[in-house]
Amino acid sequence: MPETSPDDEFMEDRWGAFVRRFDAPLPATGSGALDGWTLAVKDCFEIAGVPITAGSRDYAEWRGLPTADSWAVAALRAVGARAVGTTKLHELAYGITGINRGQGTPENPAVPGAIPGGSSSGSAVAVAAGLARFALGSDTGGSIRAPAALCGIWGYRPTHGLLPLTGAVPLAPSFDTVGIMARNAPDLDAVLRALWASAPTGAPPDGPEITEVLIAIDAVERCSLVMQRAIEETASRLSSRRYRLRERRLDVMDEIREAQAPIQGAEAWSVHKDWIEAASPTIGDDVAALLRIGADRSATELIRATDERTRLVAAVGSIIGPSSALLFPAALGTAPALADFDDPARSLANRRGMLTLHNVATLGGFPAIAFPVQAPGETPLGAQLVGARGADQRILAVARAVE
Amino acid sequence: MPETSPDDEFMEDRWGAFVRRFDAPLPATGSGALDGWTLAVKDCFEIAGVPITAGSRDYAEWRGLPTADSWAVAALRAVGARAVGTTKLHELAYGITGINRGQGTPENPAVPGAIPGGSSSGSAVAVAAGLARFALGSDTGGSIRAPAALCGIWGYRPTHGLLPLTGAVPLAPSFDTVGIMARNAPDLDAVLRALWASAPTGAPPDGPEITEVLIAIDAVERCSLVMQRAIEETASRLSSRRYRLRERRLDVMDEIREAQAPIQGAEAWSVHKDWIEAASPTIGDDVAALLRIGADRSATELIRATDERTRLVAAVGSIIGPSSALLFPAALGTAPALADFDDPARSLANRRGMLTLHNVATLGGFPAIAFPVQAPGETPLGAQLVGARGADQRILAVARAVE
């Protein structure tokens, strides 16, 4: 994966990133900072006149042909981006591995035989393989950061609510966000500035400069040794950039994952219920099982999980504070092999392990930037910085200091 | 019911207002605007050392003896009030009639043979009968305003969240509020100013003066002719006080009631589940049925009702605006006979009719003041003014202009 390859619209998609690759890129609708940049669009963002699968066999037929661009696609086309195609995803964006037996699982261009990560699998693969300069994805519980980390690129999950989801297929609205992937920090920076400028509420507010980075040490301890070393190395670079480093135990990561799961499941069922009951679509076993569990959740379970959410988000919020960021692994290690997910127990442990790293940001709607931290030439390893709500610009600045 | 009777601590409680009448009033803990004022406390607010029933046979034993005053009781005792006893309520505060076969239903001092209204039944009766100068109650879906209207006194439901519920038995936290009842406007005014001054967030903010009163005409049309005439008369008085009057159809009152019911039921079950499962208490049929329905609500029903809530509250909020108040009946007419609730169909229609009038304020957490509007010497009829969130002081000023 050459870091600096020019995008090649004509390069063969031998990784299976795309659902639909356009014969020619869609023209931009305006001119600006992203003039001529090629854009891969996760196939849960509507594009006028393009069928949308949401990663599920029967969705496009039920949805009908979109007649308008989703907010994010329109905002990017308006500043010069040219969409080159729609990319595969974990079915209904409901999974962290990117494995999709119905649509096909994109191959990880950086780690042969490994999962790409999900749910924004095809978007990460398209960017990592040089099939698009940047990509649009979504992040509900890690769906940008996991595939970015496993494919060795940059990823951004905004503060919840900052960027409109109009025209995006929802999964769990109280967690869903638009997200961006790019090959390097300057590209990500340029895309984010353009998107923020288009946001109806304007760019995320300025705030106190982040001067302290808290290493989420109980997250680090759960990861492979190579990841632990990479986080140490990242921390030492940040220290040399004059950030104050401190180890901090969160203690509530499992509780956070356990609070998010029932809320996300119940919201996902609420979102998809009408479609599923009306169209009886074919849905893969893994996602169908999650939806069934969501359908069976009681109102009381939801209320109690929501109360837990309030408590846990306050706890994390008070740890982060206005001038700190949390440094986390964005994966347990390098991308695990596809075969690791054939065994149900190992698969569950792996998926839980990944979600635990991502749900700290998602439960509270905190912004996060995932970025590569492997040594040059090594297999991708991703870290992430998580900031207070609205600290999007400021955590990007910290991540850029690692470069 | 002599409007100006002095409180008589020694007057017999022949209406059955109290659960427990203290041998001597509890002393105030401080001195202030309410020096010597006698206070009746709805028996869902904790008082140190006093058993608390929440209107339910087995609650006090499960709860154990409170060791501290609830926030509202403490705030009132600190400015001079003397609590004279704890008052009956609809079981677990979950009902609008005040009928409580377990604890006994207080008699309406103003309308022989009629319901007192609920859930703050005993508090309304104590004030109306002159057994206390003012009373503490709570309002989740009309529990202050309905009994105030039916007993001919004043009632106040604050903006949701303004007054702390610490030490109060919850029913449905996203609707629950502390509330106050008093015999006349100057008394209510004095109590509210004292309470607001104690609120942790301070008094409700000033705002633009209310200059316009919107008559909720589709609410008025549902009421008895005598109520319709009383509302007309009230409107014409407000007009003579130079308020601009306008008829306004809300159109969403039934949808509002139907959105509140599942949320309230699910929250009530979540609140009481642990107690009920642990103690298997005896609970009256009406409330037990509501709790069972709440227990059976799915997370999806709750999510959809909550989405509806957001939509409906925005609709009502945009009608009210910053310088208007809504004028509503606070009951369908004069207090209906107890016997009207023996027939299940009539009972349901009556209860639904009452809730419909009150849920417009409760769904959105809007403040409301209920006040008597019958002609002198006539059977009580209550109206209410509902304002924007935070308009508590300003709707009180409008209500006082009717006097």
- With H, G, I as helix, E, B as strand and everything else as coil, classify residue B178: strand
Nearest CA-CA partner of A223 in A382, A40, A34: A382
Cβ pair A136, A180 in contact under 8 A: yes
What residues in B contact A295, CB-CB < 8 Å? 298, 300
Whether B270 contacts chain A with CB within 8 A: yes
The pLDDT value recorded for residue B207 is 87
Contact B300 A262 (CB under 8 A): no
Whether B301 contacts chain A with CB within 8 A: yes
Nearest CA-CA partner of B320 in B354, B360, B372: B360
Residue A205 — pLDDT band, cuts 50, 70, 90?
Answer: confident
Residue A4 — pLDDT band, cuts 50, 70, 90?
Answer: very low
The helix (H) or strand (E) run that includes residue A308 is: helix A299-320
The pLDDT value recorded for residue A2 is 42
The overall average pLDDT reported for chain B is: 96
Tell me if domain A18-198 and domain A212-402 are identical in fold.
yes
CATH 2.60.120.560 fits A212-402, yes or no: no
**Cross-strand pairs, A82:** A38
Residue with tokens 């009928």: B99
The pLDDT value recorded for residue A203 is 87
A208-252 pLDDT, tens digit per residue, is: 999 999 999 999 999 999 999 999 999 999 999 999 999 999 999
Which residue in A has a C-alpha nearest to residue B304's C-alpha?
Answer: A270
Q: Residue B160, Cα to own-chain centre: how many angstroms? A: 13
B203-256 pLDDT, tens digit per residue, is: 888 889 999 999 999 999 999 999 999 999 999 999 999 999 999 999 999 999
What is the arithmetic mean of pLDDT over A317-340? Answer: 96
Residue with tokens 């009777």: B5
Work out how many CB contacts closer than 8 A connect A with B.
Answer: 55
Cβ pair A204, A215 in contact under 8 A: no
Q: Which candidate in B276, B300, B304, B306 is best for mutational testing of the A interface (most A CBs within 10 A)? A: B300
- Which two structure tokens, joined as six digits, stand for A263? 């809320």
Contact A270 B300 (CB under 8 A): yes
Handedness of CA A264, A270, A276, A277 (dihedral sign): positive
The overall average pLDDT reported for chain A is: 96
A119 noted as active-site residue:
yes
- Structural domain spans, chain A: 18-198, 212-402
Residue B298 — pLDDT band, cuts 50, 70, 90?
Answer: very high
A275-289 pLDDT, tens digit per residue, is: 999 999 999 999 999
How far is it, in rounded angstroms, from Cα A282 to Cα A288? 9
- Which two structure tokens, joined as six digits, stand for B43? 């028996």
A297-315 pLDDT, tens digit per residue, is: 999 999 999 999 999 999 9
Whether A170 contacts chain B with CB within 8 A: no
How far is it, in rounded angstroms, from Cα A147 to Cα A178? 15
How far is it, in rounded angstroms, from Cα A113 to Cα A305? 37
Q: Residue A297, Cα to own-chain centre: how many angstroms? A: 26
Kindly give, in sequence order, each residue whose CB lies less than 8 Å from that of residue A358, ignoring residues fewer than 6 positions away: A96, A139, A141, A142, A145, A146, A330, A368, A384
For a pLDDT cut of 70, what percent of chain B falls above it?
A: 98
The pLDDT value recorded for residue B1 is 41
| Residues of B classed as catalytic | 42, 119, 143
How far is it, in rounded angstroms, from Cα A16 to Cα A107? 7
What residues in A contact B304, CB-CB < 8 Å? 270
A344-384 pLDDT, tens digit per residue, is: 999 999 999 999 999 999 999 999 999 999 999 999 999 99
Superfamily, domain A18-198:
Amidase signature (AS) domain (3.90.1300.10)
B345-370 pLDDT, tens digit per residue, is: 999 999 999 999 999 999 999 999 99
Whether B226 contacts chain A with CB within 8 A: no
The answer, yes or no, to whether residue A146 has pLDDT greater than 90, is: yes
The answer, yes or no, to whether residue A33 has pLDDT greater than 60, is: yes
Contact B300 A266 (CB under 8 A): yes
The helix (H) or strand (E) run that includes residue B135 is: strand B134-138
The pLDDT value recorded for residue A290 is 97
What is the arithmetic mean of pLDDT over A27-50? Answer: 98
Cβ pair B96, B355 in contact under 8 A: yes
Categorise residue A248: left if φ over 0, alpha if ψ from -120 to 50, beta otherwise.
beta
Using only C-alpha atoms, chain A has a radius of gyration, in whole angstroms, of 19
Whether B294 contacts chain A with CB within 8 A: yes
B1-52 pLDDT, tens digit per residue, is: 444 455 666 789 999 999 999 999 999 999 999 999 999 999 999 999 999 9
**Cross-strand pairs, B213:** B245, B325
Q: Which of A56, A119, A120, A324 is catalytic?
A: A119
Contact B302 A304 (CB under 8 A): no
What residues in B contact A273, CB-CB < 8 Å? 300
The pLDDT value recorded for residue A116 is 98
pTM: 0.92
The pLDDT value recorded for residue B252 is 97
Contact B297 A295 (CB under 8 A): no
Strands B324-329 and B212-216: parallel
The pLDDT value recorded for residue B206 is 82
What are the distances in angstroms from CA A359 to CA A254, A313, B56?
9, 11, 41
The pLDDT value recorded for residue A7 is 65
The pLDDT value recorded for residue B403 is 81
What are the distances in angstroms from CA B118 to CA A253, B92, B330, B364?
44, 11, 12, 20
How far is it, in rounded angstroms, from Cα B60 to Cα B66? 9
How far is it, in rounded angstroms, from Cα B268 to Cα B253? 22
Categorise residue B117: left if φ over 0, alpha if ψ from -120 to 50, beta otherwise.
left
Single-letter residue type at A75 = A
For a pLDDT cut of 70, what percent of chain A falls above it?
A: 98
Phi, psi dihedrals of residue A401, rounded to the nearest 5°: -70, -20
What residues in B contact A262, CB-CB < 8 Å? 299
What residues in A contact B299, CB-CB < 8 Å? 262, 265-266, 269-270, 294, 297-299, 301-302
Whether B304 contacts chain A with CB within 8 A: yes
The pLDDT value recorded for residue B9 is 66
Cβ pair A178, A155 in contact under 8 A: no
